[in-house]
Structure 1
């Protein structure tokens, strides 16, 4: 149908709605309201049509997708340049289409001067409270165009008392650190120029009004596995506008005549219940992204922290025998299994099992692991190459390089130019070949360096190296999932350097950090679960101390911590005592009893790592079981020698009239919500797994 300016459309989610309109002038699309059902039935909380001294009307309007002609001073989403350097694309609304279920909308615009067309897309996946947005640009003009800024969309949030922004920062071994910033006026920005989402920031942001931090929360996350940027600006009128999209680290994108460019999906989420409610919205969305692959993950053992590069058949089998006795289901051989790989200086690129390490053959080794009742997993890093490798000797032109400049090694390795078809085919055929040749159930795909060189041999350009790398990476994942549907894929990038919604739709699990120290890991997982569902959270029990908080914690603490997502073990279990092994076997058995609730349950984050209260609650979809994982994070209160009372964990979402039982302990839902579940810590009891059954 052809739409007239002045019309508006409402997209409906499970509990929310998102209403937009094209004003009478027809130059842009703007937000009317975003929130619970019915929120648009009344004056818009974000509209403004008053005076704008020293600005333009668009600079103050709640524009959904703005060019630099619409918002010349307060930040555009799209900046286009002609071959002679002219800018200021101005759109006119031409058409719109909405489906009968009011879940998918496409609104068309065109620039009569350059011939550029833009279609702004919206999709609310069924059963969710998220809105996915992306833009398709088409050059219908007579001359090439350059995309100077490639935002995917702008989200407008009413923050009359000030904006409270929540984001996640970090570094290697300290990812997903949740932080909050009060933004009275001005701009806040995060991003990555590393060719991956990176360790420094997560492509995720939450916005609340400072006067009501436990109330409505709006979230934004970008589905892009390359360089990105998110910014938030609060204007003098109390509106916070969040812009999200690609960061064009390789320079402007070339848009040839007749060419179409689809920009990454940016997803918005809404909850009336603060960050805790917002996390549930993200979890629901990611579980739907997983589709029929959303199944309880196997308990795994990974050999890295036990053997590092000293991989050989006998030591691996010794670990596998113990792992099987403990109840582990998948045994993963990490780095060090292939030819030339005795440390991190050589071997990457030569993906052949080392016959010196597996003298009876790799097939035989895998068969011996599987004879123990274990599935088999393998570590790979197929996008990288060591200078000391056969692959690099044969194809030195396959890595990113700037002619005349020295290469920058990171971790003694270079990065393959995955955007080149022959390189993408090599990477795919390498991984696909391993999965076809060997009996592999689990693949850990690592990525241990960012891109540093913005070029290819021969100085060919300009090129969208970032976009080409990401596109081929996604295609390879999709082909592997199609051809090997029973193989689980873990996405790792030196820890949590490659976590975004695009990867959440393609990988089965994330490795959030190389830091497995218990109290450090608690903070990492606390942040991670605000943006990611538990089925994506891989966590190991190890003996490693924390890098930032080295206080020791019991084996129980470490197991309960790893149970918050997908349970794994990475310690040298050969050194564990019989008592420790027996305790481990008991925890693994208990995890298997609750992992379906952890995988599919409604999650509530209680307290935090810097508080006396620190727990995660998982309520089963049928509400018959409530799993609570709780940890002691700080000082003891008298250790039983002085007056003290248990720490109380207020549970959420329970039926106040129902009764819940934990063995011979019984609680009403009202008691658990108003008073809280009691836990008492001691020097030897620093974590607990509590399963409440509804009577």
Structure 2
């Protein structure tokens, strides 16, 4: 059993970790422990002492040593006398703030309770604990749900608020909180900007609050909804590391607080900005799920837990067990300037290179020849294409190619038939000049009729052509937050529910459809979207050297198979850098792999190179997408960006490395290789022999050739039986 209950002490056990909590004599739910496997509840960690101005619950009578202001809690809330960051705030119609939540009951269930309208890790193999807390005065129930994914060392947390009393307003709700009574910790967050997302930032936690958040309506380019708290001495291969990852795609907050006694509190949930959610009598509010994981073997093991957990229990992949199609996208090859014949010729040239699918990007619909018109009018511009979409897709399928198409269903241009007919469909404040971004507004997906209108248009396109894939884009943040029908404090949250409803209905109607998420590249790269879209365009920046950093940061949380990653033309369209074709391919192979260039204008030699790259990727794809991932260097600081994929049985390894810095009089760079079997011997494809122990302690030499940004691919297989003798 992964869950045990001993009176009012509750323990959750994964393969390598234990999580414990206890409802005490006053009915408060206290956090006891999260860490390495344990059996006995460590109640001795609850140190009680008079703390001066830290208040005491009325039930404690004259006992000044008992204060929720200093004790570790499972679900800290306003009104308890805890003045640290809390996970739950509300007020009543009379203006009374706070509540008083006490333990009511606990129940173990097989599987898990569905979070209505929200993505979550699947219930397969999961066992769950639901603890009900109650405010008997407000007639309010709070249900804390914990699900255990034992084999991948992941525990999920979510919250349901059930109101049996008078209407309330939820002002703040965090789905997960962790309290640490001692320890020196660093926090790792992931910041960035458009075209440079998820750069890791590590700093020590002292006193005060460290917070990352988004109030943009999307998880954002600027901060990712993931945090890692690790011991100050933690490395890739040693030390304690805890993670929180939000299964949600809207505005969020994630924080770590160092309190007056050097205790730490880590929490994650919906952003409080623009959030004031009314909850009437007998209504239920569902807070999104947070994935928790812990590793005592450093950051690499933590990442592997998350990668395996998402691949096994979160991501819905219509190509489960098969390689997803390698695609070529039309955007950087022709932008808005194309017709059906140009797309067909792109597909024909791609077919000759063994690429599987062509994607027609922005510009095929409405009156869309630039980015200031047409969004909202999802009908095929046959005059521009010179043929129907059915005709084009049929011709491409006759080549033996798959076909994909671009949509941006959540946005609208003022210059569109839909806006002229339904200006109220857009989020904007009446009578006020609104904010434009990319010359577009955001549709009010908090309204079912708006979602239905766009859904019907999209389905009409998909029903009348042979379409295997869609790229779902969203190219702005949400501002001018006003809905003509939805109560204003609900709009941000209900918008995300509308998005998820659209995606869920689309998948149900077209179960074999592959959807790739995108939001100006990586602006909505989160576990919530991965539930619906098994790959997400990692960044609009396709430069191979910048991608090393973007992929490095993303790899701390997200599986490599989810990275939308393409080879593009040089000079690069975003930063003008020129990198070798081999380097661009090596970097792009660490993902879903594809191309973003005009293959029709390449030489025969270049096309032959692409054909060979496609063959190479297909040979290694299973290892790349399903192997254990190891970060071997830090491209933010090191001369080389290097990483490895190792099969779970350690029989095979693939190492990719790219030289970032070029210096004269350098002859070799040594990469220490992790993940290989101790004492084993390996051989590369050229017949050279290596001992795993030596590669781990001394490294693998990369011989430096002339030229910038050279890339290396080393494939190793373990020798069976006794170590063979060989000469390099």
Query: What is the CA–CA distance in structure 2 between the aligned matches of 1:159 and 1:546, rounded to whole Å?
Result: 48
Matched, 1:105 2:106: no
Query: What is the CA–CA distance in structure 2 between the aligned matches of 1:572 and 1:579, rounded to whole Å?
Result: 15
Q: How many residues align?
A: 683
Aligned to 2:523: 497
Query: What is the CA–CA distance in structure 2 between the aligned matches of 1:88 and 1:388, rounded to whole Å?
Result: 47
Matched, 1:436 2:435: no
Q: Deviations over 1:538-570 (max 9, x none)?
A: 101112556897543211110000000111100
Aligned to 2:400: 373
When structure 1 is superposed on structure 2, of 305-314 and 94-103 the one drifting more is 94-103
Name the SS of the counterpart of 1:560 in structure 2: helix
Query: What is the CA–CA distance in structure 1 between the aligned matches of 2:420 and 2:129, rounded to whole Å?
Result: 51
When structure 1 is superposed on structure 2, of 442-451 and 402-411 the one drifting more is 402-411
Aligned to 1:30: 30
Runs of at least 5 residues in structure 1 that lack an aligned partner in the other structure? none
Aligned to 2:619: 593
Distance 1:211 1:659, change over 3 A: closer
Aligned to 1:683: 706
2:373 to 329, 346, 354: 346
Query: What is the CA–CA distance in structure 2 between the aligned matches of 1:681 and 1:482, rounded to whole Å?
Result: 52
Q: Deviations over 1:294-313 (max 9, x none)?
A: 44322110010010011211
Aligned to 1:115: 139
Matched, 1:406 2:428: no
Contact 1:517 1:545 in 2 (8 A): no
Contact 2:90 2:169 in 1 (8 A): yes
Runs of at least 5 residues in structure 2 that lack an aligned partner in the other structure? 56-66, 111-124, 720-728
Superposed counterparts of 1:113-512, under 5 Å: 113-141=137-165, 143-157=166-180, 160=183, 162-213=184-235, 214-288=238-312, 289-290=314-315, 293=318, 294-295=320-321, 296-457=323-484, 461-512=487-538
Name the SS of the counterpart of 2:420 in structure 1: helix
Query: What is the CA–CA distance in structure 1 between the aligned matches of 2:469 and 2:48, rounded to whole Å?
Result: 57
Contact 2:32 2:41 in 1 (8 A): no
Matched, 1:652 2:674: yes
Query: What is the CA–CA distance in structure 2 between the aligned matches of 1:682 and 1:516, rounded to whole Å?
Result: 24
Deviation at 1:4, TM superposition (A): 10
Aligned to 1:7: 8
Q: Deviations over 1:111-147 (max 9, x none)?
A: 1211111111100124221111011111111x21111
Deviation at 1:417, TM superposition (A): 0.4
2:658 to 631, 637, 644: 631
| Pairwise CA RMSD | 2.1
Name the SS of the counterpart of 1:631 in structure 2: strand
Query: What is the CA–CA distance in structure 1 between the aligned matches of 2:205 and 2:605, rounded to whole Å?
Result: 53
- 4+ residue segments displaced more than 4 Å: 3-6, 99-102, 544-551
Matched, 1:528 2:551: no
Matched, 1:64 2:74: yes
When structure 1 is superposed on structure 2, of 189-198 and 516-525 the one drifting more is 516-525
Contact 1:206 1:218 in 2 (8 A): yes
Q: Deviations over 1:611-669 (max 9, x none)?
A: 12421211123433211111111123515xxxx4x222222222123221112111122
Deviation at 1:43, TM superposition (A): 3.5
Contact 1:650 1:676 in 2 (8 A): yes
Q: Deviations over 1:56-109 (max 9, x none)?
A: 421212111011123531121101111111112011211001247993111111
Query: What is the CA–CA distance in structure 1 between the aligned matches of 2:168 and 2:253, rounded to whole Å?
Result: 22
Deviation at 1:428, TM superposition (A): 1.9
Distance 1:272 1:5, change over 3 A: closer
Deviation at 1:284, TM superposition (A): 1.0
Name the SS of the counterpart of 2:68 in structure 1: helix
Deviation at 1:42, TM superposition (A): 6.6
Query: What is the CA–CA distance in structure 1 between the aligned matches of 2:44 and 2:364, rounded to whole Å?
Result: 59
Distance 1:637 1:67, change over 3 A: same
Query: What is the CA–CA distance in structure 2 between the aligned matches of 1:158 and 1:438, rounded to whole Å?
Result: 59
Aligned to 1:95: 105
Name the SS of the counterpart of 1:81 in structure 2: strand
Q: Deviations over 1:334-357 (max 9, x none)?
A: 001112010001111111121122
Name the SS of the counterpart of 1:264 in structure 2: strand
Deviation at 1:34, TM superposition (A): 1.2
Contact 1:208 1:217 in 2 (8 A): yes
Deviation at 1:291, TM superposition (A): 5.3
Query: What is the CA–CA distance in structure 2 between the aligned matches of 1:388 and 1:330, rounded to whole Å?
Result: 32
Q: Deviations over 1:197-231 (max 9, x none)?
A: 01110000001121444411001111111111111
Contact 1:46 1:62 in 2 (8 A): no
Deviation at 1:461, TM superposition (A): 3.0
1:556 to 578, 582, 586: 582
Name the SS of the counterpart of 1:566 in structure 2: coil
Name the SS of the counterpart of 1:425 in structure 2: helix
Aligned to 1:49: 48
1:78 to 75, 85, 88: 88
Query: What is the CA–CA distance in structure 1 between the aligned matches of 2:5 and 2:713, rounded to whole Å?
Result: 58
When structure 1 is superposed on structure 2, of 269-278 and 393-402 the one drifting more is 269-278
Deviation at 1:273, TM superposition (A): 2.3
Deviation at 1:159, TM superposition (A): 5.1
Name the SS of the counterpart of 2:504 in structure 1: helix
Q: Deviations over 1:564-611 (max 9, x none)?
A: 011110022233222222222111110000101111111111112131
Deviation at 1:14, TM superposition (A): 2.6
Query: What is the CA–CA distance in structure 2 between the aligned matches of 1:299 and 1:18, rounded to whole Å?
Result: 42
Aligned to 1:670: 693
